[in-house]
Amino acid sequence: MQALDVLLNRVSVPRLVEPAPTAEQREVLFGAAMRAPDHGHLQPWRFLTVEGAAREQMGELLAEAAKLADIEVNEAAIDKARNGPLRAPLVVVVIARVQEHFKYPKSEQLLAAGCAAHGILLAAYAQGIGAVWRTGDLAYSAHVAKGLGLAEGEEVIAFLYLGTPQKEPRVAEKVDLAEFVSAWPGKA
């Protein structure tokens, strides 16, 4: 697949089934992530792969976090949290490893980690792997961070769900670029 085809046509694929990406495909996914723009070569990211029974354990961790976040949370919300990681055969947790740096602020490091996550999505699409980026409030829970083993200065920025598309991915909609792009006329 041509690079521009991937950039112009990638779409989220939320309905995923087995099999998960192979070892060879994962090497490409994480290799693409490592090409993210990275001022200072800080590599402010790392990844956790969650599959098999570990997805159920992650679901329990998310359900616990949902209970802790809201005293009045209903069972449907708890079940949704518990079943979230079961949506795909592989979940990649993208973690920003923000470091104190005199030149590269936290915001740039978070953006770099986001670009690494996007690299995974692009590489997945290029290989015919279905993928969708999901987060939600529980991704930012201190309980989830602790349960996943995050260190100080680390934070979850994405749960990437990957697997085989259950059906043919939708076609990317065309966007009117004029709504998003304009020329700056210069200083008034």
Domain for residue 87, yes or no?
A: yes
Q: Do residues 164 and 18 touch, judged by C-beta distance below 8 A?
A: yes
What domain range includes position 60?
A: 3-179
What is the identity of the amino acid at 156? Answer: V
Domain for residue 159, yes or no?
A: yes
Residue 72 has pLDDT above 90, yes or no: no
Domain for residue 23, yes or no?
A: yes
State the pLDDT confidence band at 70, using cuts at 50, 70 and 90: confident
State the pLDDT confidence band at 115, using cuts at 50, 70 and 90: very high
Give the number of residues written for the chain. 188
Residue 139: which residues within 8 A CB-CB, separation 6 or more? Answer: 156, 157, 158, 159
Residue 169 has pLDDT above 80, yes or no: yes
Q: Dump the DSSP string for 4-48.
A: HHHHHH------EESPPPPHHHHHHHHHHHTTS--GGG---EEEE
Q: Do residues 91 and 36 touch, judged by C-beta distance below 8 A?
A: no
Q: What is the pLDDT of the chain when averaged over all its residues?
A: 95
Domain for residue 154, yes or no?
A: yes
Q: Are strands 45-51 and 16-17 parallel, antiparallel or unpaired?
A: unpaired
Domain for residue 56, yes or no?
A: yes
Look at the chain and report how many structural domains it folds into: 1
User: How much is the pLDDT for 15?
Assistant: 96
Domain for residue 188, yes or no?
A: no
Residue 57 has pLDDT above 80, yes or no: yes
Domain for residue 45, yes or no?
A: yes
Domain for residue 53, yes or no?
A: yes
Classify burial at 4, counting beta carbons within 10 Å of its beta carbon; exposed 0-12, middle 13-18, buried 19 or more. exposed
Residue 78: how many CB atoms within 10 A of its CB? 17
121-131 tens-digit pLDDT: 999 999 999 99
The rounded distance, in Å, linking the Cα atoms of 108 and 6 is 25
What CATH number does the domain containing 17 carry?
3.40.109.10
Please measure the distance between the N-terminal and C-terminal CA atoms of the chain and give it in whole angstroms: 45
Q: What is the mean pLDDT of residues 102-113?
A: 94
Give 167's Cβ-side CA count (13 Å radius).
Answer: 4
Peptide bond into 19 cis (omega under 30): yes
